[in-house]
Amino acid sequence: EAGVAQSPRYKIIEKRQSVAFWCNPISGHATLYWYQQILGQGPKLLIQFQNNGVVDDSQLPKDRFSAERLKGVDSTLKIQPAKLEDSAVYLCASSLGTILAKPYEQYFGPGTRLTVT
């Protein structure tokens, strides 16, 4: 089966600019996650969607980050304005989204490496 797709793979912007990332989850996966992975650290969840509804956005810096999943499939993550500390890899993951389903594992996309200068 096709994996989680993300674009772009790399992005370099100046601070205070805006940027958007796109994710296409595995077909049929109801749950979609955006993680931020700073160099040398483990991924940290930013936001979780179940279909097109937000389940958890407690760690999303809402003053500058936003995300949407309008039709319950693709998702976009936006940063506006970007700060130097936003430099990281942004990983999208998806899962079937039900405790009764197997697999319930989260499958990660290749990520978008963002550099803010």
Partner 1 sequence: GENVEQHPSTLSVQEGDSAVIKCTYSDSASNYFPWYKQELGKRPQLIIDIRSNVGEKKDQRIAVTLNKTAKHFSLHITETQPEDSAVYFCAASNRRRILTGGGNKLTFGTGTQLKVEL
- State the pairing for strand pair 112-116/10-13: parallel
The secondary structure element, H or E, covering residue 54 is strand 53-56
- Is 107 an interacting residue with respect to partner 1 (CB under 8 A)? yes
Which region among 19-27, 41-49, 62-70, 77-85 touches partner 1 (by CB under 8 A)?
Answer: 41-49
Query: Which residue among 44, 80, 84, 117 contacts partner 1 (CB under 8 A)?
Result: 44
Query: Is there a contact between 36 and 88 (Cβ–Cβ < 8 Å)?
Result: yes
For partner 1, give the closer residue by CB, 81 or 113: 113
| Residue 25 in contact with partner 1, rule: CB under 8 A | no
Position 43 contacts partner 1 (CB under 8 A): yes
User: Cα separation of 46 and 21, whole Å?
Assistant: 13
Nearest in space to 56 (alpha carbons), one of 85, 34, 73, 83: 34
Q: Which residues form the interface with partner 1 (CB under 8 A)?
A: 31, 33, 40-45, 48, 50, 55-56, 91, 97-99, 104-111
